[in-house]
Structure 1
Amino acid sequence: MIFLKNFINIDDINLSFEFFPPLDSSKNEKFWKEIKRLSTLHSKFMSVTYGANNGNKTRTYNFVKELKLYTNIESAPHITCVHENPRDLKNLILKYLNLGVKNIVALRGDYLNKNKEPQMYACDLVILLKKIADFNISVAAYPEVHPEAKNSQFDLMNLKKKIDAGANQAITQFFFDIENFLRFRDKCVGLGIKEKIIPGILPIYDFNQVYKFCLISNIFVPIWLKKLYLKSDNTVNKNYIIGRNIAINMIHTLYKEGIRDFHIYTLNKLDFINSIFVNLNTIF
Structure 2
Amino acid sequence: MTLSLNQMAEAARALDGPLFADVPGDLAVSFEFFPPKTPAMHDALWQAVETLVPLNPRFFSVTYGAGGTTRERTHATVARIAAETPVPAAAHLTCVNATAEELDVIADEYWHAGVRHIVALRGDPPGGEASFTPVAGGHASAADLVKALRKRHPFEISVSCYPETHPEAPSPTADLEALKAKHDAGASRAISQFFFEPDTFFRFRDKVAAAGLDVELVPGILPVTNFANLTRMAAGCNTNVPAWMAKLFAGLDDKPAARQLVAATVAAELARRLYAGGVRHFHFYTLNRAELSYAICHLLGVRPAEVLAA
TM-score (norm 1): 0.91
Are the structure 2 counterparts of residues 141 and 237 from structure 1 closer, same or farther at C-alpha, using a change threshold of 3 Å?
A: same
Equivalent position of 2:187 in the other structure: 167
Aligned residue pair count: 279
Shift of 1:65: 1.3
Which ranges of structure 1 fall in alignment gaps of 5 or more residues? none
CA–CA separation in structure 2 for the residues paired with 1:221 and 1:83 = 32
- The answer to whether the 8 A contact 2:156-2:187 is kept is yes
Instruction: Return the match for 1:43 from 57, 71, 79.
Output: 57
1:8 partner SS: coil
Equivalent position of 2:281 in the other structure: 261
Equivalent position of 2:73 in the other structure: 59
Shift of 1:101: 0.9
Say if 2:205 is the partner of 1:193: no
Are the structure 2 counterparts of residues 87 and 233 from structure 1 closer, same or farther at C-alpha, using a change threshold of 3 Å?
A: closer
Shift of 1:27: 8.3
Shift of 1:270: 1.4
Amino acid at match of 2:71: K
Is 90-99 or 108-117 further displaced after alignment?
108-117
Equivalent position of 2:165 in the other structure: 145
1:43 partner SS: coil
Instruction: Return the match for 2:101 from 73, 79, 87.
Output: 87
Shift of 1:83: 1.7
Amino acid at match of 1:8: V
CA–CA separation in structure 1 for the residues paired with 2:265 and 2:18 = 12
2:219 partner SS: strand
CA–CA separation in structure 2 for the residues paired with 1:229 and 1:152 = 30
Are the structure 2 counterparts of residues 64 and 26 from structure 1 closer, same or farther at C-alpha, using a change threshold of 3 Å?
A: farther
Are the structure 2 counterparts of residues 125 and 185 from structure 1 closer, same or farther at C-alpha, using a change threshold of 3 Å?
A: same
The alignment yields a C-alpha RMSD, in angstroms, of 2.1
- The answer to whether the 8 A contact 1:13-1:42 is kept is no
Which ranges of structure 2 fall in alignment gaps of 5 or more residues? 1-16, 302-310
Amino acid at match of 1:220: N
> Identity percentage over the alignment?
38
Are the structure 2 counterparts of residues 216 and 6 from structure 1 closer, same or farther at C-alpha, using a change threshold of 3 Å?
A: closer
Is 226-235 or 151-160 further displaced after alignment?
226-235
TM-score (norm 2): 0.84
Are the structure 2 counterparts of residues 260 and 69 from structure 1 closer, same or farther at C-alpha, using a change threshold of 3 Å?
A: same
- The answer to whether the 8 A contact 1:207-1:229 is kept is yes
Equivalent position of 1:69 in the other structure: 83
Q: Highest Rg: 1 or 2? A: 2
CA–CA separation in structure 2 for the residues paired with 1:27 and 1:222 = 32
CA–CA separation in structure 2 for the residues paired with 1:55 and 1:168 = 27
- The answer to whether the 8 A contact 1:82-1:121 is kept is no
Is 82-91 or 113-122 further displaced after alignment?
113-122
Structure with a larger share of its residues in strand: 1
CA–CA separation in structure 2 for the residues paired with 1:232 and 1:174 = 21
Deviations 1:43-79 (A, max 9, x none): 1110000014363100000011111232110000000
